[in-house]
Amino acid sequence: MANNLLKQLGEKGLEMIGSCSKYPELKGCWDDIAKSLPHRPHEAIYHRARILLYRSAERKWTDDEKEQIRRFVESNGTDWKTLARELGKSEIHVKDTWRRIKPKNLKKGRWTQDEHQNLFDLVNLDLRLKAHQIKNPDHRLLRDNISWEAISDKLTTRNHKNCC
């Protein structure tokens, strides 16, 4: 089914599918593609396809590109769309590369007492801020409502996976 669609579209088929919102004749193409993979959620198929479709020919990031990401984030924040355009790469790849390179001072191993205290303070602050924003809080796991990446950025010594 998906292969037939690609054959019908010809040489620019992958590009068209990747930007299907620009092509009205492709409305619903992701539903057809998903039928070929019935045991996968549609959203997972779409996101994986975008990663594969927009993978640049040169997969390795140069030190200059990594430094350009650091400088951009320092001065402009995490506007991945703009940075991706500048670098000629996909937003997903730029964001993933940032996650891998951002912390130069990450620690591994045992947490210090100061780190524990800082984490505790940051989580409490985050929860207090959210308590004022949420009118009808559902009482799912509190951990799911915490912005771990933001806390990791403020903590500066551990990545978001280690914080939660």
Q: Are residues 47 and 76 in the same domain?
A: no
Cα(143)–Cα(128) distance, rounded to whole angstroms?
13
The Cα–Cα gap between 132 and 141 comes to 18
Residue 108 lies in a domain: no
Within the chain, which residues score under 70 in pLDDT? 1-7, 9, 54-59, 103-104, 133-143
pLDDT of the residue at 120: 92
Q: Which two tokens stand for residue 76?
A: 């402009």
Supply the pLDDT for residue 55: 64
Q: Give the pLDDT of residue 103.
A: 66
What confidence score (pLDDT) does residue 57 get? 54
Q: Which two tokens stand for residue 19?
A: 């930007």
Q: Is residue 58 part of a domain?
A: no
Query: Which of these, 48, 51, 54, 91, lies nearest to 69 by C-alpha position?
Result: 91
Same domain, 148 and 123: yes
Q: What domain count does the chain have?
A: 3
Per-residue pLDDT, 4: 66
Question: Structural domain of residue 78, as residue ranges?
Answer: 63-101
Residue 129 is assigned to a structural domain of this protein? yes
Query: pTM (2 decimals)?
Result: 0.46
Give the tens place of pLDDT for each residue, 29-53: 888 888 888 888 888 888 787 777 7
Residue 134 included in any domain: yes
Domain boundary among 53, 77, 92: 53
Q: Do residue 156 and residue 119 come from a single domain?
A: yes
Q: What is the DSSP-derived secondary structure letter of residue 134?
A: -
